[in-house]
């Protein structure tokens, strides 16, 4: 059974930082892994992904502020989020890219507010 467990979210002021973590089953972790987010009333969007060989991609909205990384030995992918803005408020999920039939995990809530 594929498992994705996200953690690290919370409430932070604008300009602050958070570091998200996601532990994935080995069966999918060898894939390109990404972080997605879904804000209230909006569609889920991909914000960053990283290949098994550590090549990265970022959406324009987070480029220069977010950093994705992975620890292949621990089946863990990270998202370092700096200079957070209120518009970054969303539930953040990790999954393979493209997702295919893999179910979503529970996600982790990030709220950026003063």
- Indicate the burial class of 15 (C-beta count within 10 angstroms; 0-12, 13-18, 19 or more): exposed
Q: pLDDT of 8-34, one tens digit each?
A: 999 999 999 999 999 998 888 888 999
Neighbours of 71 (CB within 10 A): 12
Neighbours of 74 (CB within 10 A): 11
For residues 66 and 110, give the distance between their C-alpha atoms in angstroms, rounded to a whole number: 13
**Contact yes or no for 92/79 (Cβ under 8 A):** yes
Q: pLDDT of 42-93, one tens digit each?
A: 999 999 999 999 999 999 999 999 999 999 999 999 999 999 999 999 999 9
């Amino acid at each position: 059974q594929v498992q994705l467990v996200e953690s690290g979210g919370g409430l932070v002021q604008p300009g602050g930082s958070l570091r998200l973590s996601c532990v994935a089953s080995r069966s999918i972790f060898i894939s390109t892994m990404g972080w997605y987010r879904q804000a209230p009333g909006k569609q889920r969007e991909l914000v960053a992904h990283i290949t098994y060989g550590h090549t990265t991609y970022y959406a324009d909205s987070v480029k220069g502020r977010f950093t994705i990384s992975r620890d292949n030995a621990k089946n863990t992918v990270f998202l370092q989020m700096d200079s957070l803005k209120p518009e970054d408020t969303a539930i953040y999920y990790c999954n393979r890219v493209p997702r295919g039939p893999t179910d979503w995990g529970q996600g982790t809530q990030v709220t950026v507010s003063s």
